[in-house]
Each structure stands twice: as structure tokens, then as C-alpha cells.
Structure 1
Amino acid sequence: MSSDVSTETLLRPINSYTRRYLAATTIASAAIGFWLYFYVQQLQYGLIVTNLGDWGSSGGVAWGLYIGAFIWWVGIAHGGIILSAAVRLIGLDTYQPVARLAELLTLAALTCAGLFIMIHVGRPDRLVTSVLPAWPTRVQWSPLMWDVTVITAYFVLTATYLLLTVRYDIHRLRSQLPDVFEPIYKILMVGYSEAEDAIVERMVWWLAFAIIIMAPLLLHGGVIPWLFSVLPSMAGWEGGVQGPSFLSIALTSAVSGIIVISAAFRYAYGWEDLIPEEVFRGLAQWLGFFALLFLWLQLQQVITGIFAAPTTLQHATEVKIATPLYWVAIGLVVLALLYIFASVLRPSLFDIRLMVVLSLGVLVGTLLEKTLFVVEGIQHAHFQLYEGVPGTYVPSIVELSAVVGTVGIVVLSFLTVSKVIPVVELHAIEEHDNEEVNS
């Protein structure tokens, strides 16, 4: 980061409106409207408008893209907050310019994950009439209750984490922030005094520590894969490898998402000094490491699934590797890994724009893999209630629109928040200035 980075650069998203911003807002709103159009049809006619179906004489699957996308968004959220927490815990100062972007990504992704729970239960009122009343007595064994619990816990932790850090920035930059948002700033700054800064630093450190500990145990390395891996009747799901596999996919997709979002802000607001190329090189190397781990765990599942495996597991694995979309997903991750490896050997090959394209490919690949994982686990279970009628599943336009709509929600949330609070911490500038003075 060069020494000419100023608060004007930091606040550029808040104090400027461009045609590109308006275009991005229009596209994101259109994506949300596209989903709402089809969601209204689902509310009117029920889940029959999707290609989901109960087990029966017509075959099919009860879980499909909705649950695959739910897992995908939870994974992105999980990896995002891990990166932000790691910046504070182990001093990864290089990535401080993108730490708050990772926190905002976590909140947006968790919102979308929760939205897919609401979509999948059919009628939204069931969350109030069924889920909440049953929570005290059913949380210990209900998959839905566990989902709601861990997502809520992580949302509260992340929101608290973000609120504690943003108060410092608002107080010091208040004179440069727009007066139109004064009511919001007053709410965010209730009870603030500079004396709390030292206390907040300790609180944030402990919150980061709790997040790092809880992430592999409760979210994408724990509860979510446990919901699948402890079901021996589902040949494609059961097994101890699911926890590490889910965790690797979460971190892979999260780093990809952070690369895309950071590059978008860098390009839109001329943040070459605020988010330098070294940040993207570092993120790319982390992406390469997590992608390699993801591919290795996929190899473990395939090898153990086709070599002297139980008949149903072998069948499920053979079907998976015979599915073209599975190899598309693997190929997208392999392509990104090969480019990262080549750019490490020859740094001149590295290009941020190409890295963004490959990161988008990784996001598509991880979504495909998780959806295929969900669908194949149901289609190739140990028990066969209706022999000879396995059924097929292809996501409907209603289900696809939900993915498009939630992506639009994430984009619109960043566009909105970036007009109210700094999306890069003031500390990222202050610490750099201190380093310049000391040098």
C-alpha cells in the first residue's frame, strides 16, 4: 500500500455515485425480481412448481438445488469470517484491507443460507408455527433446528464483531460521512467513548478466537456435514470424511468470493493503492492450498467408493464419476489450481482479472459439487422402497431463480452498505502510516 492512501480514498464508495454503480444496482435488483416472480408462484401453488418430489412411484428427490445452495452459502460465510478472524489472531496484516469485506460477505451469505431454509420448508409461516415452538424440545435431534441454531449463532457473532470495529471508524470519520445517514450513525454509536477502544480490541480478539474455534466444530466442519455423514442409509453421504471435505469446500469457495468482491471494489473505485496486487497474490495462494485439499479429499472419496466398497456405495460413486457435471466442477477447480501454481513459479503470469474469472469458475464448481452430493445421496440410498423407479432430477427454473436471486441479494447488500459505512477498516490506513513513520 503506497503512502498516498488517504481517508478520501477510503470513503470514495460513500461519497461518489457512478453509472457503473447504478448499473450494478439495477442488475442486482433485476436478479432479485427474477427470483421473486417465481417465488410468488411457489407460494401460490406449492413446491410442486419445482422439480423436487417425495419418494414414491414417480421417483425423484426431496432435496435438490435448494439444499445444495444452502450448503454453498453457509460454506462461503464460514470461510469469510475465518479469514477476517485470522487477520486479528495471527497478524495477517497483508489482508487487513479485505477483512471487513470478508465480514460483510459472511453476513450476506448467512442471510442467503437462512433464506434457503425458508424457501425449502414451503410456506414461510412454518418457521413461526413449527420451527420456533419446537426448538426447545427438538433442537437436540432435528436437522432443521441445528441448521437454524448454528446459523443464528454465527450471524450474531459476526454482526457483533463488525459492530464493535465499525464504531471506531465512524467516530473518527464522522465529519466526512453523509449527514443523511445521521440516524443510522447515532444508533450505531450509542454509548460510545474513546475509552472503550482498548476494551473493544480485547473483545474483538476473543470473538475472533471463538469464531476460529467454533467454525470447524459447529458450522461447516461440524453440524452441517454431521447432518449428512451420520445417516448410514445414504450411501453417498455417510462417513467421517465429510467434515474435512465440507470444510475444504467452504474455504475454497469463500476465498474465491473474497477475491471477486475485492477486485470489484478495486476496479470500481481505483483502489490499487488501498488493495494492492500483493493481497490478491496472497489470496490466490491460499485458494490454491484449499483447492488442493478439496481435490485430495474428493480423490479419497472416489477411490474408497469404487474399490471393494459396499454395493450401494460403489453404485453411488460410479454414478457420480459418470456424471459430466461432476467433472465440470472438478475441472473448474483444477484449472484455477494449475494457474495459481504456474503464477507462483512465474510471477509475471499473474493477472488479477484472470484470477477473478477463475475464482468465479471455482464458485460455480463448488455449487455444482454440493448440489450433486445432495441429490446423489438421496437417489442412491441403501433402501429401495420402489424398486426400478430411481427417478431423475434436473433443477427447475424456479429453483435456479433462487440462486440468481440470492446472488443479487449479496451484490445489492454490498452496494448498499458501501454507501453507509467504510468497507475497509480505518486501521488499514493508520497502521500503514505508522509503518511509514517508523521506517
Structure 2
Amino acid sequence: MPERTVELTGHVIDSGTMQRAFGVVMDMGGEFHVEQFDVGSRKDETSYCRMTVAADTAAELESILHELHQNGATVADPVDAAVEHAPADRVVPKDFYSTTNHRTEVRYDGAWIAVEGTEMDCAVVVDPDAEGGPRAYTEPLSGVEAGDLVVVGEAGVRVHPPERPRDAEGPFGFMQGGVSSERPSESLVREIAEVIVETQADGGNVLVVPGPAVIHAGGRDALAELVRAGYVDALSAGNGFAVHDLERDLYGTSLGLDVETLDHPRKGHKHHIYTIGSIIRAGSIPAAVEDGLIDSGVMYECVTGDVPYVLAGSIRDDGPLPDTITDTVAAQGAIREQAQDADVVLLLATLLHSVAVGNCLPSDTPTICVDIDPATVTQLVDRGSAQATGMVTDVGMFLPRLVEAVEAVEPGDDTDGSGDDTGG
């Protein structure tokens, strides 16, 4: 039987990596033999496993090795990664390495190089002549240029899935529970508030991704307050969110509905398109703020507080607003820059933009998803954003409570939690 030796290192017991690796081999019809297994006996010690994997055919073995690679296993006695020149702009070599969203390294010229800009579904480009030595970085297929050295195959590539924390202490400790629909909501809101406050206190970056439902459900004022208070460093949304936020300022409605009285004013269904027309005449959202046309809301606070925002367009957009990026590739690039700079991401009631931003995030970026539908978080996880922790609730009720909790938190507060004392 063809066989290869692979290695696993890190907190592979607590993180479940060992069990997943064994399961992959058996489920795919292979066999494994553990040659060496060193177990970390303290919380700060890692474990090491070296095992031989075998299969009936070379093709089956390659499939098993591919799945093990995705879970952090590395082929023992590694070789340098294979690289080939891209034959043309936006054309990658056959069998190019497609990235995961896990921290990745490639072996080049006998040394392991950390891949910059961790993101799923990209190519890895090696620049051997970079100042300071060779560098490697992810590049979406749309950004590959003729002559780029692109990594081909999985040999010489290793990934590092995020490991389970040693314990549940600290402001990020609660983010291990998947979708939270039964936990006491007040304690969970406080824990999220502590994440935001601690991130800001440490000089980190909080990215908020809101959907139009934030405006419909009555969360506009609370989100605007978070922006005004300096707890939002960047905002990523779509044309619809901005239109409804601006409509609320101009007409007191959101998609024609009076948010306060729930009445439908006469011609209310035209308010959103009237709003777009007004902003186009002004020239942009910042110009409308400067002219005094817009004087409240989330977009107003972003403009006056110099908080950068990205409005990514879609085929469904009315107008769109002059600030909306209608070039898909350009919008992806703008979202990608925001995602790579983020230390914490808060996804608020928007499936499409949650998935879009989630696709650009490294797997070790804490991500909190608030939605009335638990399927939103499930879809995020299914599409690779396994780090997403969900809170199932009405975003219009969540945001005001979050503002109160943020105001009550002092930097340095910790959440309560119990840890796992197992090493490895």
C-alpha cells in the first residue's frame, strides 16, 4: 500500500485535531499507524504526533493527505513548495494551491515563510526578490499578474487551524459556543461589550457589518451612538443599508414604513428612491452632510467622525448611491482591506454581507454574528467561517442593550469562565 508520514503539532488534543485526523483517514478508507505521540502535560505545553498513513491506491492516499492538510497535518520531511509562473494576467497554473482561511506557511529555498493576508480561496504568490528576503502573500485570482510565481500543489505548504484557548477566561473566552439561542442574553450582551471595549483599549480595530434590518428593526440610533462614541473603526455594508439609514433621516421612514408608528405614509414606498435622488444631486453622502441635508444617523456619524465605510453594490440596488462601489472586483478589494485590518468583526442581521466579509477573514479573527435566524450563523460556518459565534435575537433589541453594556464596561474587566486544564 502506498504510504506517507505526517506530523501534527500544537494543542491537538484540546482542539480536536487528533480526533479529526484519525476520523479523516478511517472515513476515507485509509489506515494509520501512530509512530510517536508526545502529550503535553501542562496548559502551556503542546503535543506532537507522527503517524504513517496508507491507502489502497496513490490517488486515494493523495485525497486523504489533502483532507489532513486542511486540518493542519504536515507531511514529514517537507520539500520546498513547487512554484510556476502565471502565464497571463488573471490566469493561474493548473493545480495551483487554493488557500484556506487558516494561518499558512510555504517552504521556499529551504525556509518556511509566513503567507501574508490570510484569506480563503486565493492563490499564493512568492516574491523571491522582496526587500528583506523572499515573501509570500495571498492573491485573489483577479489580482494575479503574468509572471507571478504561484505555488502549485500542497507539498511545502502547511496550515495552522486556530486552536482552542487554554481556558475560557478573558473577554474572548465566551466565543466557543457556536450559535447561542439559550444562554442568558444579558450576560452574552455584556460579554460582547467587553470584547469591543477591550479591543479598543488595546488599540485594535472593530469592523461592523450591518444590514438594512438594523434600520427596519429600530437599531439605527444605537448603532449611530456606537460610531459616535468611537467603538466602530470601520463599516462595511451595502447600498440598501445606507439608503434606508438616509431615508430615515430625510423622511422618518425605512423602506416607506414609519419606524416609530409603523404607519405607511402616503407615497412612502417612494421615499427610498427620493432619498437616492437627493444624495445624487448633492454629489455624495459626505457632500449631503456638509450641505446640512443629512444631520443624523449611522452614515452621518461615519462622515463626521471620519470612520471609513465601504458600500458594496449588487445587481438588486436602486440608484445606486454615488458612494456605492458598483465594480464587483473593486468592491471585493475594498472589503478585503477592511477585513484584513479587523481585530473583531460584528455582523448584524445581513446574510449576504456576512458571508462576503466572512470569506475575506482569517480564521483567527473573532467574529460575532447577531441575527434573528440561526441559519445565518450556520451558513457562515458551512462556508468556512468556523470562528463565527452567533447570538439569535432581534437586532433592534440587541443594539440598544449593547450600547448600555459598553457604557457600563471599564477596560480591564474580564468575563467569568471555567477553563480546561488538559495540556496539549
TM, length-normalised to structure 2: 0.22
Higher strand share goes to which structure?
2
| Structure ID, larger Rg | 2
Higher helix share goes to which structure?
1
Bigger relative CO (Cα 8 Å, ≥ 6 apart):
1
